[in-house]
Amino acid sequence: MPDIGSLFIQLFSGLSRAMMLFLLSSGLSLIFGVMNILNFAHATLWLVSAYLTYSFFQFFSSFWGTEPWVLIPAITLATGIMFVFGMVIERFLIRRMYPRELPEQLLLTFALILILGDLIKLIWGVENRRIILPIEPMEVMGSFVNPYFFVIIASGCLIALGLWWFLHRTKYGKIVRAAVYNRDMVSALGIRIPAIYAGVFGLGVGLASLTAGVFLPIMPLSLGIDMDLIIQCFAVVVIGGFGSILGTFIASLIVGIIYSFSILIWPDGALAVIFIILVTVLIWRPWGLFGTEMRY
Amino acid sequence: MSNDQNHSVWDRFLPIINRRDFILTTLATGVMALLPRTVSSQSAQPYRIGVLLPTTGSGANYSERPIKGLPLIAAEINKRGGLSGKHPIELYFRDTQTKPDVGAREARSLILNEKVKTIIGTWSSAVAMAVQEVTHEHKVLHLAATSNSSKIVHENYTPYSFLFGPDSRMQSNATVVAIAKMIKAKGWKTYVTLGLDYEWGRDAQKVFVTSLGQTSPETKLTKEFWAKLGETDFTSYISAIMGLKPDFMFGAIAGKDNETFLQQAKASGLFKRIVYPGVFLPVTELMQQRKTLPRGIVGLARCPFFAHMDNPMMQQYVKLYQDKFGKADYPDDFACMYFDALNALDQAAAKAKSIDTETLRKALTGATINTCRGRLAIRDCNNQLDAPSYVGEVVDVPQYPFPIFDPKTLLVIKGDEVWLPSCEEVRKLQKKRS
């Protein structure tokens, strides 16, 4: 039986996994909540951002050396570019999907996955890419932890707070929330809904890009990881409730921590446990833990 | 700082160039068909080979160098006129996406549409076994190297499949040989395993546990961990393993998952607490992780070029590869194994003086061939090459810009030391095929 120190480390691992899931899923949840668009290509846009951040990091490193702070301008630049790219995608592709059914949205965004995947292969090739920072393990309660996970947990909490503040404490956030419930009324007040949607989609992709940069020092980049991640994102968003940032945050905590302890107790069934929770939520509350019945 | 190689634009576009070559070849074939019979009958019949390797999914990273290297070998053979001196090799590349259904579909397409006579590949054992069904059905040769589940040459055996690397049983047993020495020296009592939850991972783990149970019965397995293929976050596994405090761990992890695990395990302090001998470290990993790989860990490889630089064939291949792709790049284990596979086909064709599939198959079965790992025999009861496994300590040396296995303590475990001892045992496992 593991000691208290080991159990704490396991809880810490679960928290870091939870924040990784939240960081990944927040943009997906925001886009669906506001626009009713199920962006299946969210994780692929995250992957494109990661490769872009990697390239900028390499470029800046040639001038300033491989210092951890060099990641900050690389992330900032990549996030800015991806924010604009997100708006462009919304303007020319997603906008045409608003009146269409969900299967058509999925088909379009799945086509984006294939196109962007091939684009990555053309530009960056198939070899794994990684950013190496001098991260040394830190001793906590007689065991070791990866100190970078404090950065991930802090990033997750900051983004959760930032999104809450944006949606509840700013004029634009209130417009976005109003548009979720009654687009026609918001439009009747003279507010340009297309601009709101483009901005939200850009913000969602920008969040994905920010996340990609945060993950880079602990996760080698390779083709195909987007497909592994998007399934987990959907599980989190469904459990939390589509469109609810708070729901996504709580669901990430539930999934991350339960998954972590399942590995310790019942490693063979760790993944199954997550999907048992997903199925239970779908049966009991199809709109998710924090989603609203009206949206459902 | 990244430790990626600086590839030229040519390298990055190579898969696309191959696709273009494919289109051009198809067009050329079409033109040939329109030429008068007298002209086409005098032309040499090309020998078409399908290359099934993933350029997406978990195996993409291990496929890059074979994809780059195979055309070089084909060109060398074609300089001599091709197979049997008169059948130039044509390569047709297809992406399996590391998916069994895609692999089987592409294999069928290559056989029926491109009329390939041999299929080389692939990375995942699950995909390889799906491909085996297709190659057996159509009586097409299948030369495997990266995929190495022991089932390929045992439970799923077909006389058309040949394996040019150590199978998972041989590889795990080689690890047992090395670990048994460490157990004796260090008095280890407990261990855990972490494997990828798919065909190869399960197979490699099972063979290791069984074999270690026989070799060192007092060493107890505390827990088995299984991570899904493509896992991006091993943190919970790492903390769980550290919490159990075993003396050592055995890993059946490969591809990009192996790299992800090593990077996260190092940063989480796993190697400060737990010994991890026998981690799969092909040259690909040694090159790509040269800055982060913990020195002193004991790794396992299947065909590291640095272990055979005294072999003229290996020297020639490394030179050929570097002339094309630069001195900073080296062929990895997978490129070397596929190099041997294509060369074995060339040697079999020279011996048989024919490119007929059945004749080639018989010539390869039980043959002794020249490889870049020395002169090795192909076992006649299951078509397994007597391929060594390499176990060694990761150290820096002045000759290379990345770590290698310490030449002074490198263990080369021959295939026949660790494969199933008798052909009777092998045949018991092989299923009856029509």
Could you read off the pLDDT of B391-400 as tens digits, one per residue? Answer: 999 999 999 9
CA distance B271 to B279: 12
Task: List the end-to-end C-alpha distance of chain B, in Å, as a whole number.
Answer: 55
Task: List the end-to-end C-alpha distance of chain A, in Å, as a whole number.
Answer: 44
CA distance B254 to B282: 9
Cβ–Cβ gap B272/A137 under 8 Å: yes
A contacts of B63 (beta carbons < 8 Å): 126
Query: Residues 156 to 185 of B: which have CB under 8 A from any A CB?
Result: none
Alpha-carbon gap: B427 to the closest alpha carbon of chain A (Å): 32
Q: Beta strands A143-145 and A138-140: pairing type?
A: antiparallel
Identify the band that residue A228 occupies on the pLDDT scale cut at 50, 70 and 90: confident
Which residue of A263, A268, A274 to mutate against B (max B Cβ within 10 Å)?
A263
Which residues does B122 contact at the CB level (< 8 Å), separation at least 6? Answer: B52, B53, B54, B59, B96, B103, B128, B131, B144, B146, B147
The answer to whether the CB of B243 falls within 8 A of the CB of A10 is: yes
For chain B, percent of residues with pLDDT exceeding 90:
66
Q: What is the pLDDT of residue A296?
A: 43
Cβ–Cβ gap B243/A126 under 8 Å: no
Which residue of A16, A127, A227 to mutate against B (max B Cβ within 10 Å)?
A127
Q: What is the pLDDT of residue B161?
A: 97
Residue with tokens 């992780």: B289
> Which of A13, A57, A144 lies closest to B273 in CB terms?
A144
Q: What is the pLDDT of residue B16?
A: 43
B contacts of A56 (beta carbons < 8 Å): none
Model-wide pTM > 0.85 = no
B contacts of A59 (beta carbons < 8 Å): none
More confident residue, B387 or A295: B387
Whether B28 has a pLDDT exceeding 50, the answer reads no
Mean pLDDT of A24-41: 87
Which of B51-55, B119-123, B204-208, B304-308 is modeled with the greatest confidence? B304-308
> Which of B61, B263, B268 lies closest to A126 in CB terms?
B61
Which of A121-135, A140-154, B142-156 is modeled with the greatest confidence? B142-156
The answer to whether the CB of B418 falls within 8 A of the CB of B170 is: yes
The answer to whether the CB of A17 falls within 8 A of the CB of A156 is: no
Query: Residues 235 to 294 of A: which have CB under 8 A from any B CB?
Result: 259-260, 263-264, 267-268, 270-271
Amino acid at A152: I
> Which of A2, A20, A260 lies closest to B244 in CB terms?
A2
Mean per-residue pLDDT of chain A: 88
Alpha-carbon gap: A10 to the closest alpha carbon of chain B (Å): 6
User: What secondary structure does DSSP assign to B131-194, as a single string?
Assistant: HHHHHHHHT-EEEESS---GGGTTTT--TTEEE-S--HHHHHHHHHHHHHHHHHHH---EEEEE
Compute the Cα dihedral for B146, B149, B152, B156 and give only its sign. Answer: negative
Whether B29 has a pLDDT exceeding 70, the answer reads no
CA distance B396 to B384: 33
A contacts of B3 (beta carbons < 8 Å): 130, 132
Mean pLDDT of B211-226: 93
CA distance B301 to B156: 24
**SS3 for B250?**
strand
* Residue B19 touches partner A, C-beta closer than 8 Å: no
Whether A146 has a pLDDT exceeding 90, the answer reads no
CA distance B26 to B67: 20
Residue B66 token pair: 């074979």
Q: What is the pLDDT of residue B58?
A: 67
The answer to whether the CB of B342 falls within 8 A of the CB of B73 is: yes
Mean pLDDT of A93-109: 88
B contacts of A235 (beta carbons < 8 Å): none
Whether B221 has a pLDDT exceeding 90, the answer reads yes
Q: What is the pLDDT of residue B307?
A: 97
Mean pLDDT of B102-117: 96
| B101 burial via Cβ count (<10 Å: 0-12, 13-18, 19+) | exposed
Query: Residues 52 to 111 of B: which have CB under 8 A from any A CB?
Result: 55-58, 60-61, 63-64, 98
Q: What is the pLDDT of residue A177?
A: 85
- What Cα–Cα distance (Å) separates residue B52 from each residue in B91, B106, B278? 10, 8, 28
CA distance B46 to B284: 33
Identify the band that residue B434 occupies on the pLDDT scale cut at 50, 70 and 90: low
Mean pLDDT of B359-377: 97
Q: What is the pLDDT of residue B324?
A: 96
User: B238-276 pLDDT, tens per residue?
Assistant: 999 998 999 999 999 987 788 889 888 988 889 888 888
More confident residue, A124 or A296: A124
A contacts of B11 (beta carbons < 8 Å): 125
Mean pLDDT of B417-432: 90
Which residues does B227 contact at the CB level (< 8 Å), separation at least 6? Answer: B194, B195, B196, B197, B234, B237, B253, B257, B261
Query: Residues 147 to 206 of A: which have CB under 8 A from any B CB?
Result: 148-149
* Residue B13 touches partner A, C-beta closer than 8 Å: yes
Cβ–Cβ gap A10/B269 under 8 Å: no
* Residue A2 touches partner B, C-beta closer than 8 Å: yes
Question: Which 8-state DSSP code applies to residue B407?
Answer: T
Identify the band that residue B195 occupies on the pLDDT scale cut at 50, 70 and 90: very high
Q: What is the pLDDT of residue A134?
A: 79
Whether B31 has a pLDDT exceeding 90, the answer reads no
A contacts of B8 (beta carbons < 8 Å): none
Q: What is the pLDDT of residue A183?
A: 81
Mean pLDDT of A108-122: 92
Identify the band that residue A4 occupies on the pLDDT scale cut at 50, 70 and 90: confident
Alpha-carbon gap: A35 to the closest alpha carbon of chain B (Å): 29
CA distance B56 to A126: 7
Residue with tokens 């090309």: B46
Query: Residues 96 to 115 of A: which have CB under 8 A from any B CB?
Result: none
User: A47-74 pLDDT, tens per residue?
Assistant: 999 999 999 999 999 888 888 889 999 9
